Structure 1
Amino acid sequence: MGVHHTHRGDSRSQDHVTYEYDQPCDYHCQSYDGADDGTKPDQRIGVVYWILGLRIPLVASNPVREGVRISTSPCVCEIRLRGFPVQTAPVPFVSSPEDTPDPNHIVTSFYLEESDVKAMLVPGCFHPSHAYLEISVFTGKQGYHCGVGGKKQQVGTFRLEVGPEWSGGKPVLLHHGWIGIGKSKQDGGKPGAELHLRVMLDPDPRYVFQFEDETKSSPQIVQLQGTMKQPIFSCKFSSERRMSSQLDPMSNYWSSINEGTDQESERKVRKGWKVMIHDLSGAAVAAAFIATPFVPSSGCDRVARSNPGAWLIVRPDICGTDSWQPWGKLEAWRERGVKDSVSFRFHLLPEGQEAGGSLLVSEMLISAEKGGEFFIDTDRQTPSGTPVPSPQSSGDFAGVSPVVAGFVMNCRVQGEGKSSKPVVQLAMRHVTCEEDAAIFLALAAAVDLSIEACRPFRTKAKRGVRNSV
């Protein structure tokens, strides 16, 4: 069967591009409500907060605090919640009472499991009896100390107690509006700076999946809930040297080179890797394959940013039973540093967009040695890109506004040379059918394999990988 790929925005007739795939399933987007044994999503709660603005009321006639003029100094806030890393974000200054804060200025979120909330509600010996969400505002640019004597100056603090409503599993608006966060010492204790913020609890149930073995070992994929495991999909990895020249523009170049042994060719290019995701009936429901080979850049032994390798993530075409539709593109390359990292850039390929109209939805670094987390979360990052209309089909999450989209998915992978069994979390609201879950699992497999694909070319391949290149 083949991939029938027509470049969007090009009115010229395109030849069909053929790649040796398993036949995809009849695309009917079967409703997905957890595993057949009744396994449901893991319940999580998102603490979403908007830091909308900082202002100095008129009663504070001299908005100067300990030698620092707040109205002209950049401000930053530090957000603390017990058991979680401190988060920082810039605070926009509202210069006049008539100015309206930007309602879409989302800072970030904390995502809590039920056990996290329970732990914060129980008094302990080594922490205060009550846990708080604490937002402290300081003058100075993010990451720097500034002000008199080189010390960062605190403007004020907002504290919100963690209460039983945090574990209710329902949306709750905890605070919205202006609130005083400090007193003006120079004005006899009159109200000083005010912070406009919005804090709400947003239930965020997730499906959790795990690859039972390394991706290249073609493992089974199970859904997790606590100690329960339920098979949902299977993963099939393969490596094919023969690829269509239209899918791989460099294939003609590489085919002209005398590749010699596998070990010799492995020092030149990594290509032809393919991952198929099958449902329990054996039908292929998603796939990922290397579309741009991973090759060393001129004069070095690594895949560089100037020429990244790329995966194409595809799903069954709704218009046919023997074709595939591109869904996303994952680029990866290796970044040099004190400790090397693998850089990822993921674009969504919206249906109906013209060529070059892809939407950047995620960009990050993962430690090449230790591994890390790949995620799509509009609360944690806002990549640049061209807006797309509201979603018209399943999986088209990128058309949702940042306020609604929030967390979409994440996956945790190991570093190079380590046994990696990716764990994937998917927001329930973005999974309406099995095919939706499968496409994100194909993306996770591509992320995992990219750690190996981006290893230095001078390094000998592991025994398990060499036969897969």
Structure 2
Amino acid sequence: MDPQAFIRLSIGSLGLRVPATALTTAKSSIHAFSSCVCEIRLRGFPVQTTPVPFISSPETTPNSQNIASSFYLQESDFKALLARGCFYNSNACLEIVVFTGRKGTHCGVGAKRQQIGTFKLDVGPEWGEGKPVILFNGWIGIGKNKQDSGKPGAELHLRVKLDPDPRYVFQFEDETKLSPQIVQLQGTTKQPIFSCKFNRDRVSQGDPLSSFWLSSVNGSYQETERRERKGWKVKIHDLSGSAIAAAFITTPFVPSTGCDWVAKSNPGAWLIVHPDPCRPESWQPWGKLEAWRERRGVRDYVCCRFHLLSDGQEGGRLLMSEILISAEKGGEFFIDTDRQVQAAVATPVPSPQSSGDFAALSPVVGGGFVMSCRVQGEGKCSKPMVQLAMRHVTCVEDAAIFMALAAAVDLSIEACRPFHRKIRRGNRHSW
């Protein structure tokens, strides 16, 4: 498998210090500086907002390993950033705008944040060379001293770095429930890598997954008249036809009391498994995906929460991702320690024997991208696009386990669909 070139642009080691001559004695002014945020802007990418710690001691330097924000760029992104267009005459730049306070209200009165200053860094040809480069590291003045215009004002500390971050890119060639082929994308070339087999029936006694099914589902597993979605399973096969990863529903997707959809109080769940290297025809748990539906304002979302299972045990769960995906428009599920809001998330590290074995866990300094899966909203033809960081894939089996996870995410969009809605024409065979 050949990876595609990606570059990780990371912004970290953030800190703000203000000379004593620039501070007033008013407590409100000091408090404003202690609650600063910055907007990080790069043309063609969504604006990212992150807090900026206030550095009170002039001898203190922020930790260089702290990553506040990251952008991931491929070749087409570089060309777009360096291009001249009708609405811009110069190359794009990385722009970091620092503000005091936050948007919102205080005691019922609108609180308007104030801009402290701006840091700009032009996009240059070195961005596309695919080499590790530190573009900036240190302190820089970004504001004026309001008390004395002849003296320096606020200073921003930051570290801007480029690192090569190659990825494997895969796509399901049709809807997951139609058992499509999975191809690897390399430019305009499509290379078949896996096949996907979807089944919505109960696991048969002759299937190696049956032991997991019977031990994972509580109570009777016979069909009932209750409205529920269960029995779904997906197997990922290599080119020789061998099943090398799978996902199956362990907790049925059922409507919660008082509503007509799967709620957070009782989410549906998938178990992601891979072959046990020590026991032929047996499977070993790798991860658990839970999914439910949430209504926020006038929009509905499907929340996907993924835990990695340490040593294949439920008790050794490690939260890797919890993502909201628009039920109508779809969206992106990802595992990325730079983009997670929860603290201290570890990254899976493949073992030498691999076969999808990510049981060995260790925190990775700086974190980073692990995988992403883009899916469509309910009722739409979804052909999931999956990207995997090359450093987490040592063999085909490693990639296959993420394909099983991606398939479970995609199918969860439909599994969380309200039960009263009619199935769109042409999809009756999938239920």
2:305 aligned residue: 345
Look up the SS of the partner of 1:187 in the other structure.
Answer: coil
CA distance in 2, matches of 1:386, 1:107: 14
Distance 1:339 1:207, change over 3 A: same
Whether 1:247 aligns to 2:216 is yes
2:326 aligned residue: 367
**Residues 24-73 of structure 1 deviation map (CA, whole Å, 9 limit, x = unaligned):** xxxxxxxxxx1xxxxx2221111111042111134x353589x8446654
2:207 aligned residue: none
Which one of 355, 367, 370 corresponds to residue 408 of structure 1?
370
Which one of 101, 109, 129 corresponds to residue 62 of structure 2?
101
Whether 1:202 aligns to 2:163 is yes
Whether 1:49 aligns to 2:11 is yes
1:186 aligned residue: 147
**Residues 269-325 of structure 1 deviation map (CA, whole Å, 9 limit, x = unaligned):** 100100000000001110000011101112221100000000000111121221111
Which one of 264, 272, 286 corresponds to residue 305 of structure 1?
264
Distance 1:468 1:150, change over 3 A: closer
Distance 1:196 1:145, change over 3 A: farther
2:253–2:416: 8 Å Cα contact kept in structure 1? yes
**Residues 69-115 of structure 1 deviation map (CA, whole Å, 9 limit, x = unaligned):** 46654111011111222111111111112334244432121111112
Deviation at 1:240, TM superposition (A): 2.0
CA distance in 1, matches of 2:391, 2:348: 18
- The correspondence of residues 361-440 of structure 1 with structure 2, limited to 5 A, is 361-384=320-343, 392-393=351-352, 394=354, 396=358, 399-440=361-402
Distance 1:392 1:140, change over 3 A: same
1:176 aligned residue: 137
Q: Kindly provide the amino acid, as one letter, of the partner of residue 340 in structure 2.
A: Q
Deviation at 1:355, TM superposition (A): 4.3
CA distance in 2, matches of 1:397, 1:376: 16
Distance 1:106 1:386, change over 3 A: closer
Q: Runs (4+) of structure 1 moved beyond 6 Å?
A: none
2:333–2:372: 8 Å Cα contact kept in structure 1? yes
Which one of 245, 250, 253 corresponds to residue 294 of structure 1?
253
CA distance in 2, matches of 1:108, 1:165: 20
Q: After alignment, is 83-92 or 114-123 more displaced? A: 114-123
**Residues 109-160 of structure 1 deviation map (CA, whole Å, 9 limit, x = unaligned):** 111111211222233331141321111100012x4488x9843211111111
**Residues 429-460 of structure 1 deviation map (CA, whole Å, 9 limit, x = unaligned):** 11110001100010000000000000011112
2:104–2:112: 8 Å Cα contact kept in structure 1? no
CA distance in 2, matches of 1:390, 1:342: 28
- The correspondence of residues 15-34 of structure 1 with structure 2, limited to 5 A, is 34=1
Whether 1:316 aligns to 2:275 is yes
Q: Kindly provide the amino acid, as one letter, of the partner of residue 175 in structure 1.
A: F
Look up the SS of the partner of 2:403 in the other structure.
Answer: helix
2:268–2:292: 8 Å Cα contact kept in structure 1? yes
**Identity in percent:** 67
1:361–1:382: 8 Å Cα contact kept in structure 2? no
Q: Kindly provide the amino acid, as one letter, of the partner of residue 194 in structure 2.
A: F
Which ranges in structure 1 are unaligned for 5 or more consecutive residues? 1-33, 35-39, 260-264
Q: After alignment, is 383-392 or 174-183 more displaced? A: 383-392
CA distance in 2, matches of 1:82, 1:431: 31
Q: TM-score when scaled to structure 1?
A: 0.83
The structure with higher relative contact order (CA 8 Å, sep 6+) is 1
Look up the SS of the partner of 2:380 in the other structure.
Answer: coil
Which ranges in structure 2 are unaligned for 5 or more consecutive residues? 204-209
Look up the SS of the partner of 1:186 in the other structure.
Answer: coil
Look up the SS of the partner of 2:315 in the other structure.
Answer: coil
Q: Specify which structure has the higher proportion of strand.
A: 2
Q: TM-score when scaled to structure 2?
A: 0.89
Q: Kindly provide the amino acid, as one letter, of the partner of residue 248 in structure 1.
A: V
Look up the SS of the partner of 2:62 in the other structure.
Answer: coil
Deviation at 1:463, TM superposition (A): 5.1
RMSD across aligned positions (CA) = 2.6
2:90 aligned residue: 129
Matched residue pairs, number?
417
